[in-house]
């Protein structure tokens, strides 16, 4: 079924929508995007080739859902014109729902969800539990390559709020800036990827995994809302999120949407952008 907040869909609901003559569950003619991705190791496309949801098209987080890595971070915002070209090649249409999935934790899928909604495609949802949930429930898998019909999406960037480094610093003072990385990275005890360890001064730590159940599915709105309240999120005050390069923090923004904070902003460049300027302050510890 589709979730009440239209953010996620479960495997049964997706299969029902795909197999109906015009799509069921209010999802006529669904486009399914396979966004499986790893920070390191073999690329997600290898997983797609080994088996994917029938009709799904692979989309690459590194090269198609982000711009070139550089001074704006490891996964900066993509160029709108290039993004439009890529999404049309995947079959994305303005009037056709999109469901995105990853291996199971929802983080790469959340990045795809955020980019599509930022680009103006409002009817985009995450498959709750991802490919693992799909296969665990016995739904079919194929190795057939999908050749989509050219889409017609018009990318209109800015439909979800994003933050620059300066805006993230200001938000940390005026509201709640959530660092979605694991606690040791937030405290500056370890930094396996970026050249500087620590966090943005004033940020608070809530690893994005705290917003999901053990199987990767999002917790309920009430559970998420209570967790964010413990983190310091308050009604009427701005809230935003960042991580290492804007991937896991997109999952935090997805969770904030479920909690009712559709104004939540994403610092897309995140820590990998912050540390490119040696004049920006760095905090360590709790």
281, part of any domain: no
282, part of any domain: no
For 257, the 3-state DSSP assignment is helix
The model's pLDDT over 26-42, given as tens digits with 9 standing for 90+, comes to 455 899 999 999 988 77
57 pLDDT band, cuts 50/70/90, is very high
113, part of any domain: yes
Of 4-8, 155-159, 258-262, the one with minimum mean pLDDT is 4-8
Residues 195 and 265 reside in one and the same domain: yes
Domains in the chain: how many in total?
2
Residues 100 and 27 reside in one and the same domain: yes
pLDDT at 40: 80
Residues 128 and 215 reside in one and the same domain: no
pLDDT at 13: 93
Residues 177 and 225 reside in one and the same domain: yes
33, part of any domain: yes
Task: Please determine, for residue 46, whether its predicted confidence score (pLDDT) is greater than 60.
Answer: yes
Mean pLDDT of 222-242: 97
235, part of any domain: yes
Residues 121 and 23 reside in one and the same domain: yes
Cα gap 137→132, rounded to integer Å: 9
Residues 65 and 177 reside in one and the same domain: no
Residues 189 and 125 reside in one and the same domain: no
Buried b / exposed e along 217-232 (16+ C-beta atoms within 10 A): bbbebebbbebbeeee
Task: Please determine, for residue 2, whether its predicted confidence score (pLDDT) is greater than 90.
Answer: no
Cα 128 from chain centroid (whole Å): 12
Q: Which residues contact 235 (CB under 8 A, 6 or more apart)?
A: none
Task: Please determine, for residue 67, whether its predicted confidence score (pLDDT) is greater than 70.
Answer: yes
The model's pLDDT over 163-213, given as tens digits with 9 standing for 90+, comes to 999 999 999 999 999 999 999 999 999 999 999 999 999 999 999 999 999
Conformational region of residue 229, where left means phi above 0, alpha means psi within -120 to 50, and beta covers everything else: alpha
Residues 129 and 202 reside in one and the same domain: no
283, part of any domain: no
Among 282, 216, 269, 204, which residue's Cα sits nearest to residue 74?
269
Tell me the backbone φ, ψ of residue 106, rounded to 5 degrees: 85, -5
Residues 13 and 130 reside in one and the same domain: yes
Residues 98 and 217 reside in one and the same domain: no
pLDDT at 26: 46
79 pLDDT band, cuts 50/70/90, is very high
Last residue of a domain, one of 90, 119, 136: 136
Residues 14 and 118 reside in one and the same domain: yes
pLDDT at 29: 82
Last residue of a domain, one of 81, 115, 136: 136
141, part of any domain: no
Last residue of a domain, one of 116, 136, 156: 136
Q: What is the CATH number of the domain that holds 84?
A: 3.40.250.10
Based on the residue annotation, tell me whether 231 is a catalytic residue of this protein.
no
From 9, 243, 256, 268, the catalytic residue: 243
What Å distances lie between residue 148 and 44, 89, 151, 168, CA to CA? Answer: 19, 7, 8, 38
90, part of any domain: yes
Residues 174 and 112 reside in one and the same domain: no
Range of the domain at 187: 165-274
- Please check whether residue 273 is in contact with residue 76, taking contact to mean a CB–CB distance below 8 angstroms: yes
């Amino acid at each position: 079924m589709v979730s009440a907040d239209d953010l996620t869909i479960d495997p049964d609901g997706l299969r029902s929508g795909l197999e109906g003559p015009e799509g069921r569950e209010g999802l006529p003619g669904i486009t399914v995007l396979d966004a499986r991705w790893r920070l390191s190791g073999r690329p997600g496309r290898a997983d797609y080739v080994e088996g994917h949801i029938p009709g799904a098209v692979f989309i690459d987080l590194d090269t198609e859902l982000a711009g070139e890595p550089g001074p704006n971070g490891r996964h900066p915002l993509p160029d709108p014109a290039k993004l439009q070209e890529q999404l049309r090649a995947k079959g994305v249409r303005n009037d056709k729902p999109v469901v995105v999935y990853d291996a199971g934790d929802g983080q790469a899928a959340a990045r795809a969800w955020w980019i599509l909604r930022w680009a103006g495609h409002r009817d985009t949802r995450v498959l709750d539990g991802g490919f693992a949930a799909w296969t665990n429930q016995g739904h079919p898998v194929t190795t057939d390559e999908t050749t989509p019909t050219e889409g017609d999406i018009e990318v209109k960037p800015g439909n979800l709020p994003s933050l620059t480094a300066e805006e993230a610093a200001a938000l940390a003072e005026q509201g709640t800036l959530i660092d979605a990385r694991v606690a040791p990275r937030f405290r500056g005890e370890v930094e396996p990827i970026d050249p500087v360890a620590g966090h943005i001064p004033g940020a608070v730590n809530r690893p994005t995994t705290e917003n999901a159940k053990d199987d990767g599915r999002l917790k309920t709105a009430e559970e998420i809302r209570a967790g964010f309240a413990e983190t310091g999120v308050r009604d009427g005050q701005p809230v935003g999120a960042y991580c290492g390069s804007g991937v896991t923090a997109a999952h935090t923004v997805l969770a904030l949407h479920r909690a009712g904070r559709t104004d939540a902003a994403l610092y897309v460049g995140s820590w990998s952008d912050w540390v490119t300027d040696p004049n920006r302050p760095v905090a360590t510890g709790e």
